[in-house]
Structure 1
């Protein structure tokens, strides 16, 4: 299991406190980026969510909520019934593999693994496995703009991926106030921007995919009430977007609830 200590977190949350995450030298005479917009949230609806689901990927397409989960021996691809929270398992990963982000493109579901260097491709209608790809490095989050795939690997990079070959075609370094943002996790494409959970924080970064600049920060502190937390409750992770209605869904690893939220500019 990913076990990055909060005290070592050098991503968005620390950058917001003025403790930049850069591990190298700052480039001389760098242009000062525009100040990112800060957002809070309002909860518009709450749905049940299985506390046994270690959420790694979340996507809502054509009325169906898809979820990819992690943990060795427990990683699955599943559909979620929003009304009941019950899950219908579509595929199980080998017990030795740790599932990660998912996305749906052209009727196919792509699912990453953390350190097994494998991506699986399933037919969304039948759940049948179509193929698997090999890739270098770790897999964390995955999303699509409807043409290409975008992959995070736990660093400050987001890689552009050819869905036909799974080869990397390029990448951007995600920066907040000029500093790299580490631990980019689950990804979602919303209105031309990539939304990314920043692992171990309650922050979502809104990223320009062309430049890597963080244009906005959604602070979801306090989203899951303390009375709903147990020793098994893990961090915020999971963003899904209903393009037909504009609904935004978020949840976390082993959370009992899945939330529909509206973001509010501060």
Structure 2
């Protein structure tokens, strides 16, 4: 059995090799994946390996997750998880107990709306919809809808940095929106070595950095909010292998951060497991 130091070195080497492999695969012009909903992914450009550091992640716990939940947004608030579920006719915002995955409360979206990203602002939750151009505001305690916003374009991921709501739309552009009016304050192009990183999906802000799922890829990217540069990449392929999903849309999607206990929770669409991860210090 290898020593702990040897295992750690092998893991770092594996992740570094994975960064190179991801870059080679995506830049090679492989066909874009087609979603079950008919959505076609824009051509993806991989983070260049030169400035991108592998982020070591250690799984410290596993929790039950609804295998029927098409997870689009995830966050931690007031000792529990809040989750946005997608697909027309099945979209909800849920209050979920961590320990057993039980849904404590839910708010159902209209049947023609596809629920997407979810963020917390003060005592409210804000959720996106994919193509209807509506963002909904919910009371975080009761999940009663308290208002809505109109916006143009698609809605994918949403997160809060304490000053603005950060929105993704599947492109390489993140939009920082006013939490009260939902007006765009600024735009940020996400790049790695000057190349745009597209298919940005679910978002979370951790220690000031933006973490993002990349649609149909088994990794998270860490983004500098000042200049949009990708500074790190976390391999989630072992998690995807463990859940053994057979649906092609059962991809990693769902990032929640508990700042008090410094716990990172990740899951995926239709995954039966939610993973708690301890992050090693950033380089």
2:116 matched to 1:100? Answer: yes
Q: Superposed, which structure 2 residues align to 1:48-127 within 5 Å?
A: 48-127=64-143
Question: 1:262 corresponds to which residue?
Answer: 278
Q: Output the CA distance in 2 between the equivalents of 1:238 and 1:226.
A: 16
- Structure with the bigger percentage of helix: 2
Deviation at 1:230, TM superposition (A): 3.6
Q: Superposed, which structure 2 residues align to 1:239-254 within 5 Å?
A: 239-254=255-270
TM-score (normalised: structure 2): 0.82
Partner secondary structure for residue 182 of structure 1: coil
RMSD between aligned alpha carbons? 1.9
How many residues are treated as equivalent by the alignment? 246
Q: Output the CA distance in 1 between the equivalents of 2:217 and 2:249.
A: 14
Moved more, 231-240 or 151-160: 231-240
Aligned in 2, Cα 1:4/1:226: closer, same or farther, shift over 3 Å? Answer: farther
Moved more, 83-92 or 59-68: 83-92
2:278 matched to 1:238? Answer: no
Residue number among 204, 213, 216 corresponding to 1:197 in the alignment: 213
Q: Superposed, which structure 2 residues align to 1:105-184 within 5 Å?
A: 105-184=121-200
Q: Superposed, which structure 2 residues align to 1:31-50 within 5 Å?
A: 35-50=51-66
Question: 1:21 corresponds to which residue?
Answer: none
- Structure with the bigger percentage of strand: 1
Contact 2:240–2:251 at 8 Å: present in 1 too? no
Deviation at 1:3, TM superposition (A): 3.1
Q: Output the CA distance in 2 between the equivalents of 1:101 and 1:256.
A: 20
Q: Output the CA distance in 2 between the equivalents of 1:2 and 1:208.
A: 32
Structure 2, unmatched stretches of 5+, are 1-36
2:4 matched to 1:4? Answer: no
Structure 1, unmatched stretches of 5+, are 18-33
The one of the two structures with greater contact order (alpha-carbon pairs below 8 A, sep at least 6) is 1
Q: Output the CA distance in 2 between the equivalents of 1:252 and 1:153.
A: 18
Q: Once superposed, which parts of structure 1, at least 4 consecutive aligned residues long, lie more than 4 Å away?
A: none
Deviations 1:28-54 (A, max 9, x none): xxxxxx712112422100000001100
TM-score (normalised: structure 1): 0.87
Deviation at 1:89, TM superposition (A): 3.8
Contact 1:228–1:256 at 8 Å: present in 2 too? no
Deviation at 1:233, TM superposition (A): 6.3
